[in-house]
Copies of this chain bind each other. A is one copy, B any other.
């Protein structure tokens, strides 16, 4: 495969800011394509986020919360936006305790991924822990979540019911399956 960036690159001709909000901003870029034509690209900017795969006695710690973008309650692994300049591992530890009340005594990086590379630069950093102890729950003022430990069979049932249906939690369930089979994420 030729991954010659120059052969595939889209050069920015113009960038128009459309919106700057509390969480995301939006811009429309006009780009020059490799064939010399132009196209527009709608791009959402996001500060990035962390998520935590926390296992305890072969159960996964999840939270239920209302997702306005989907207009329904979803069960997901704990996650949250990065604060400016924040260390990734510190952010993962903070979000875990804020959302669930559990403190991670270790946190290892599993992987990082862009959630929607077609239109957004959001990156999510996934951390793993199997060492958690009770701490202090402290939700954001506009956050309403409920925490629970589920078995992998419950996770599959939640997927079948549509209660679990976000990329990071679905990926985590697949990673968990691998971890149960091999003791690692490979």
Query: A113 contacts B8, CB within 8 Å?
Result: no
Q: How far is the CA of A26 from the CA of B12 in the complex (A)?
A: 22
7 CB contacts below 8 A, A to B, read: A8-B64, A9-B66, A19-B19, A23-B118, A35-B144, A69-B119, A111-B170
Interface of A is mostly: mixed
With a cutoff of 8 Å between Cβ atoms, the chain B residues found around residue A28 in the complex are 21
| Residue interface mask A37-74, B partner, CB < 8 A = 1 | 10111111010010000000000000011111110111
With a cutoff of 8 Å between Cβ atoms, the chain B residues found around residue A24 in the complex are 42, 44, 119
Binds B, one of A86-94, A98-106, A175-183: A175-183
Query: B41 contacts A10, CB within 8 Å?
Result: no
With a cutoff of 8 Å between Cβ atoms, the chain B residues found around residue A84 in the complex are none
With a cutoff of 8 Å between Cβ atoms, the chain B residues found around residue A185 in the complex are 174
With a cutoff of 8 Å between Cβ atoms, the chain B residues found around residue A171 in the complex are 167, 170-171, 174
The verdict on A159 contacting chain B, using a C-beta distance below 8 Å, is yes
Query: A118 contacts B22, CB within 8 Å?
Result: no
The verdict on A165 contacting chain B, using a C-beta distance below 8 Å, is yes
Q: How far is the CB of A146 from chain B (nearest CB, A)?
A: 6
Query: A1 contacts B68, CB within 8 Å?
Result: no
Query: B49 contacts A69, CB within 8 Å?
Result: no
Query: A44 contacts B119, CB within 8 Å?
Result: yes
Query: A8 contacts B66, CB within 8 Å?
Result: yes
The verdict on A130 contacting chain B, using a C-beta distance below 8 Å, is no
Contacts known (A18-B19, A19-B18, A114-B167); A144 close to B33, Cβ less than 8 A: yes
Q: How far is the CA of A12 from the CA of B13 in the complex (A)?
A: 38
Query: B170 contacts A119, CB within 8 Å?
Result: no
With a cutoff of 8 Å between Cβ atoms, the chain B residues found around residue A2 in the complex are 64, 146
Q: How far is the CA of A171 from the CA of B31 in the complex (A)?
A: 30
